A = this chain, B = another copy of it.
Amino acid sequence: MAKIAVLGYGTVGSGLVEVLERNSAVARKQAGEEVLVKYILDLRDFPGDPYEDRVIHDYNIILNDPEVSVVCEAMGGVGAAYQFTKQALEAGKSVCTSNKELVAKHGAKLLGIAAQKSCNYMFEASVGGGIPIIRAINTSLVTERIEEITGILNGTTNYILTRMEREGADYGQVLKQAQELGYAERNPEADVEGWDTCRKIAILASLVTGKNVDSEKIHTEGITGISGADFAYAEAADMTVKLLASCRFNEDGSVRAMVAPFMISRDHYFAGVNDVFNGILVAGDMVGEVSFGGRGAGKLPTASAVAADVVNCVRSRGRNISCTWKPEEVRLEDPGESERRFFIRASASERGAVEKAFGEGTGFVKLPEGGGEFGFFTPVMKEKDFDEKCSALGAAVLSRIRLA
């Protein structure tokens, strides 16, 4: 029998206990032995909860209990979560988590300790919720030179953009709805500013390169600047807008990474990834493009991914099977050098200046009701050149979105 401890009895922690309880027979069969939650660490008590008797407040009980072989960190944050994870690994206990912030910040170090101590640090749930993308990279796409990963990696922003598209509503209005429905947090910055997405793509890029990709150095833009008007133009051009994370792996070992809203064709795979769903495309040199989709967030899908890690830790007790990435920093390419087309919305009175700045592009999009403005698709150009031209045009440019 494998005994585990759950740190934090919030959404993910209680979901994990629920998954392991409801599907205990499946977990037992797959792990080769019963998987039992022995402790739940939380500051609070949970009178009346069916697991009330497992709740403890002192982490040392877990650390000092040789029966506990796997610790699930469902606390969040990079403070106590980091200390507890480090201590567990140093004690030879495997740790499973959905804490992308911690993995992005201290993954290299924690994986190193796990390797030393012949245990595992697993974080399938940290990217793509219930989508098994991390294990796919670590165990399936293992004879591929991975060239590029692109993804919709945040359910909250994808939900907001989907609503904006379908209802023609503006950002603020939809955010408020999403908060009321519990799809967005009261402090939504980590989602809507793209930070959560950025941590996730940094984790995937670190796995692929085997080195550390510093999420704080990835060029990141959120969705707060996207308006209903942008969607109206997108629709007129048979396109839509999605918050995409992408990383391209160059032959010289450098990485081109970015998180930003992109305008994409309605035929594109990502145009079919809506609401709280996530989607990920991985391009390998042999296999071509492989896609993965599913619920990128939510209590049970996330908990399911943590539970799968627990089963894999139990299966491989005493052996380090997880990936590693070295603390060495990956060189990130200057985003100003990347080339693409762009969409801009501009004041109708400045049409001449826009055309002069960007050349012919692929022509203008004029909406019936868009009297005072127009949309314009630029030719392919460098980010830095585009920025320079936009700066020169000043207030004439109302909004700008990259084309994928």
Residues 247-300 (chain A) with a chain B CB within 8 angstroms: 269, 272, 284-295, 298, 300
The answer to whether B288 touches A143 (Cβ under 8 A) is: no
**Stretch of A159-167, A221-229, A305-313 lying at the B interface:** A305-313
A139 within 8 A of B: yes
The answer to whether A136 touches B143 (Cβ under 8 A) is: no
Q: Which of B29, B132, B290, B300 contacts A141 (CB 8 A)?
A: B132
Sort chain A's interface into a size bin. Answer: 35 or more
Which residues of chain B come closer than 8 Å to A141, judged between CB atoms?
A: 132, 304, 308
Q: Which of B29, B132, B300, B310 contacts A140 (CB 8 A)?
A: B132
> When each residue 319-358 of chain A gets 1 if its CB lies under 8 Å from chain B and 0 otherwise, what string results?
0010000000000000000000000000000000000000
Which residues of chain B come closer than 8 Å to A303, judged between CB atoms?
A: 286
A13 within 8 A of B: no
Task: Look across to chain B and name the residue whose beta carbon is closest to the beta carbon of A130.
Answer: B287
Copies of this chain present in the complex amount to 2
> When each residue 192-210 of chain A gets 1 if its CB lies under 8 Å from chain B and 0 otherwise, what string results?
0000000000000000001
Q: In the assembled complex, how far is the CB of residue A303 from the closest CB belonging to chain B, in whole angstroms?
A: 7
The answer to whether A292 touches B295 (Cβ under 8 A) is: no
Q: In the assembled complex, how far is the CB of residue A279 from the closest CB belonging to chain B, in whole angstroms?
A: 8
Task: Look across to chain B and name the residue whose beta carbon is closest to the beta carbon of A131.
Answer: B290
The answer to whether B290 touches A130 (Cβ under 8 A) is: yes
Which residues of chain B come closer than 8 Å to A304, judged between CB atoms?
A: 141, 143-144, 284, 286-287
The answer to whether B142 touches A311 (Cβ under 8 A) is: yes
